[in-house]
């Protein structure tokens, strides 16, 4: 049984006016990624539903942002006045 064979020709990048294709040398290189230590890292642990609610309620006393509230509650940073 014959199979359909199609060739895919990638589209050339176009100028903002969409009138002419851009020359490959005019396409900017992607920005360098930020250092790994500057990226956010997850902190995950599991709690019973009631414990989670009590902790989140307590953290809201410090700040609406959980990460900020946790750092304040642990004394890692001072709350903003």
pLDDT score of 8: 62
Mean pLDDT computed over 54-65:
96
Q: Is 59 helix (H, G, I), strand (E, B) or coil?
A: helix
Mean pLDDT, residues 34-57: 95
- Of 48 and 8, the structure prediction assigns the larger pLDDT to 48
Alpha-carbon distance of 57 to 50, in angstroms, equals: 11
pLDDT at position 28, please? 85
Contacts of 47 (CB under 8 A, 6+ apart): 55
Q: Which DSSP helix (H) or strand (E) runs through 70?
A: helix 66-73
Label residue 29 exposed, middle or buried (CB < 10 Å: 0-12, 13-18, 19+): exposed
Q: What is the pTM of this model?
A: 0.55
At 9 the pLDDT is 61
Rounded CA-CA distance 63/67 in Å is 9
């Amino acid at each position: 049984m014959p199979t359909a064979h199609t060739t895919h020709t990638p589209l050339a990048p176009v100028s903002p006016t969409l009138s002419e294709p851009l020359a490959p040398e005019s396409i900017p290189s992607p920005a360098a990624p930020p250092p790994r230590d500057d990226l956010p890292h997850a902190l995950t642990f599991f709690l019973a539903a009631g414990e989670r609610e009590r902790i989140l309620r307590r953290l809201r006393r410090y700040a609406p942002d959980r990460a900020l509230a946790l750092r304040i509650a642990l004394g890692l940073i001072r709350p903003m006045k």
